[in-house]
Amino acid sequence: MKKMKKILILGISGFAGLEIAKKLVLENKVIGTYYHNKPEIKNCELIQMDVTSNKILNSLLENKKPDLIINCVAISNIDECEMNHELCRKINVLPTEVIVEYCKRNPKTKYVFLSSSQVFGGDKTKVGAYSKDDPCHPINYYGKCKLECENIIRKLKNHVIIRPCLIFGLPKKYQHKTIFNYIYDALSVGDIFTAHFDQIKSPVFVQDVALLTKNIIEKEKTGIFHAGGKTRSIYDFTIEVAKFFSFNTNLVIIKKSEEKSYRSKNNSLDCTFTEQECGFIFKPLEESLYNIKRVII
């Protein structure tokens, strides 16, 4: 029989955090922290807290003594991080420093960190299809902070780093919208949607991020895992969504994306290692859209 684990999820109210919690809550004791938005989830201890207070975070860890810490807290908006480095660092890096120190004192505790494919993008010799051992060259502050966290986490023996690329799905009202919402909200009411053909991503369904996290935990894996669906341009992704929901594809305007020094055009992922190591298959887009359709219609 599997041993029930005590799992602390920081950022349980976030888009990925809530989905991960839902997958873990039945077989584990889950404690989750939120800040502004108290999520609706059963069988879970919810704690309201600001993780940027080192003292509060440290006493939470010392009081709860979790077997596993999953950190989903972040400012995940790249523009926002670029505009406010100080706040980005405070939320995206400092909690990891506290958690890593705790894990050094408690080496049995596993730290699962949600990083990002934004640790790539600035390499002149390779563009896209990054595999887990490729050198990291972030070009934005968000990616730099993720890499800084990864570098301190990798000193721990008992760690997991998950690098998702553009997570999509159906967020709650209080959560941020995803690429799926922007496309669906425009095309479903007959508005045009401008889609970039030169933005190459490996969009991953939020449920796959959650299922992969569960798989990694259950199989007691450690190390770095890429999390991405099939690589495609945002334009191709949009057309697939439009066709699936029988929207008028003429409403999709194909366009080159604006040049921004801190935006990489291609941070797509090679997830072969994840699939082989975990025996995990990322859902084809059509299957993810079926799951979404079942909820909205």
By the criterion CB under 6 A, which residues form the site for ligand NAP? 11, 13-17, 34-37, 50-52, 72-74, 76, 91, 114, 116, 164, 166-167, 175-176
In terms of CB distance, is 52 or 251 closer to ligand NAP?
Answer: 52
* Residue 115 C-beta: closest distance to ligand NAP, Å: 7
Closest-by-Cβ residue to ligand NAP is 14
- Helix, strand, or coil (residue 17): helix
Q: Closest separation between CB of residue 77 and ligand NAP, Å? A: 8
* Residue whose CB is less far from ligand NAP, 114 or 285: 114
Nearest distance in Å: CB 246, ligand NAP: 26
Residues 6+ apart with CB under 8 A from 208: 227, 229, 282, 283, 288
The 10 Å Cβ neighbour count of residue 169 is: 24
What span, in angstroms and rounded, lies between the C-alpha atoms of 277 and 132? 12
Residue 162 parent element (H or E): strand 159-164
Output 128 or 164, the one with its CB closest to ligand NAP: 164
- Comparing CB distances to ligand NAP, the nearer of 205 and 235 is 205
Nearest-approach distance from CB 267 to ligand NAP, in angstroms: 10
Nearer Cβ to ligand NAP, position 164 or 246?
Answer: 164
For ligand NAP, the closer of residues 210 and 242 by Cβ is 210
Taking alpha carbons only, the member of 179, 296, 192 closest to residue 232 is 179
CB of 225 to ligand NAP, least distance (A): 12
Instruction: Kindly give, in sequence order, each residue whose CB lies less than 8 Å from that of residue 143, ignoring residues fewer than 6 positions away.
Output: 78, 116, 118, 119, 120, 121
CA atoms within 13 A on the CB side of 203: 22
Compute the least distance from the CB of residue 297 to ligand NAP, in Å. 24
| Nearest CB to ligand NAP, comparing residues 73 and 156 | 73
Closest C-alpha to 262, from 120, 139, 163: 139
Could you tell me the smallest distance in angstroms from the CB atom of residue 29 to ligand NAP? 19
CB crowding 93-132: b at 16 or more within 10 Å, else e? bbbbebbbebbeeeeebbbbbbbbbbbbbbbeeeebbbeb
Cα 23 from Cα 197, distance rounded (Å): 34
